[in-house]
């Protein structure tokens, strides 16, 4: 039955999340963008898009009166985010205890080369979520960990052995609701302003950026094993973006 469960969890890159984006993101003192506010969008679908396309998040808290931010693997589960880490992590134990947190996910889509350093910039899409995490009960951890794996490595859960009980015990899974979130998207920002008086002999334009996957590199122990489908599918998907 365990193997059947894992095969059912296989998803393709085109499946996406089933949750419908309903209702606008509320504007609050925390979520209102103040600098270049016209780039803010309150469409929940825009938030979902940033999260679903992201591969890593930065999670920040104040620990012992000092700010600290760590990169963390994540996945969106409907209208919440799942985070996972070691039960031995002081950072994650504090998250589970309910300290306020801030999560950011950013896509750097390009560098804007203007005719001055002041006007040069980046094109990006970014989501910022504020909230408090709650730890998932043991009965929900396995399904959540499979969801986290499917977000980063779609199809991999169906190719490897089931999660062991000791691995579940060593892993903490946290849920953060997407109730206080903002999205800023300047991916359509102007490269230059007509009649800005700058020297037209200096090139200006956009250098697009994207994640590119290289060729799979086997471990020394599996040099003769064929590359699994999930690895090739992930490589091909990233290189087609």
**How confident is the prediction for the chain on average, in pLDDT?**
88
DSSP string, the chain: -HHHHHHHT---TTT-------SPPPP-TTT---TTGGGEE--HHHHHHHHHH-S-EEEEEEETTEEEEEEE-EEE-SSEEEEEEETT-HHHHHHHTT--EEEEEEEEEEEEE-SSTTT-EEEEEEEEEEE--EEPPHHHHHHHHHHHHHHHSTTGGGTSPPPPHHHHHTEEEEEEESSEEEEEE-TT--S--TT----TTS--EEEE-----------GGGTTSPPPHHHHHHHHHHHH-
- Contact between 119 and 75 (Cβ < 8 Å): no
- Contact between 47 and 20 (Cβ < 8 Å): no
pLDDT of residue 212: 94
Of residues 205 and 196, more confidence is placed in 205
Report the predicted TM-score, pTM, of the whole model to 2 decimal places.
0.86
What does the block give as tokens for 160?
A: 């490897």
CA distances (Å), origin 104, targets 178, 181, 193, 214: 12, 10, 30, 26
CA distances (Å), origin 37, targets 27, 32, 41, 123: 12, 8, 9, 15
- Tokens 């969890």, located at residue: 9
- Contact between 95 and 129 (Cβ < 8 Å): no
Confidence of residue 189 (pLDDT cuts 50, 70, 90): confident
Confidence of residue 116 (pLDDT cuts 50, 70, 90): confident
Residue 105 has, within 13 A of its CA and on its CB side, a CA count of 26
Q: Can you tell me the mean pLDDT for 3-18?
A: 38
Among 197, 166, 46, smallest CA distance to 107 is for 46
Of residues 200 and 57, more confidence is placed in 57
pLDDT at 6 over 50: no
How far apart are alpha carbons 219 and 225 in whole angstroms? Answer: 10
pLDDT of residue 17: 46
Of residues 61 and 29, more confidence is placed in 61
How far apart are alpha carbons 47 and 140 in whole angstroms? Answer: 25
Instruction: Quick: pLDDT tens for 121-178.
Output: 999 999 999 999 999 999 999 999 999 999 999 999 999 999 999 999 999 999 999 9
Q: Can you tell me the mean pLDDT for 183-192?
A: 82
Which neighbouring-strand residues pair with 128? Answer: 104, 182
Confidence of residue 21 (pLDDT cuts 50, 70, 90): low
pLDDT of residue 231: 97
pLDDT of residue 5: 32
Confidence of residue 241 (pLDDT cuts 50, 70, 90): confident
pLDDT of residue 188: 78
Q: To the nearest 10°, report the CA torsion of 32, 36, 42, 46.
A: -130
Among 37-41, 92-96, 121-125, the least confident range: 37-41
pLDDT of residue 20: 56
């Amino acid at each position: 039955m365990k193997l059947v469960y894992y095969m059912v969890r296989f998803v393709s890159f085109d499946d996406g999340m089933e949750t419908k984006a309903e209702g606008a993101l509320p504007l609050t003192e925390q979520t209102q963008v103040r600098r270049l506010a016209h780039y803010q969008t309150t469409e929940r679908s825009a938030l979902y898009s940033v999260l679903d396309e992201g591969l890593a998040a930065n999670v920040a808290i104040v620990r012992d009166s000092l700010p600290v931010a760590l990169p963390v693997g994540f996945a969106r589960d409907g209208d919440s985010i799942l985070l996972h880490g070691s039960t031995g992590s002081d950072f994650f134990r504090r998250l589970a205890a309910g300290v306020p947190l801030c999560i950011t996910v950013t896509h750097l889509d390009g560098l804007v080369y203007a005719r001055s350093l002041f006007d040069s910039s980046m094109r990006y899409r970014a989501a910022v979520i504020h909230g408090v995490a709650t730890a998932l009960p043991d009965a929900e951890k396995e399904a959540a960990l499979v969801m986290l794996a499917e977000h980063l490595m779609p199809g991999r859960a169906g190719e490897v052995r089931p999660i062991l009980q000791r691995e579940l015990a060593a892993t903490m899974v946290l849920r953060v609701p997407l109730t206080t979130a903002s999205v800023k998207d300047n991916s359509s920002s102007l490269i230059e302003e007509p009649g800005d008086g700058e020297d037209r002999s200096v090139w200006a334009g956009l250098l697009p950026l994207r994640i590119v996957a290289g060729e799979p590199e086997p471990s020394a122990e599996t040099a003769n094993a064929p590359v699994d489908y999930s690895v090739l599918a992930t490589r091909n998907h990233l290189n087609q973006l």
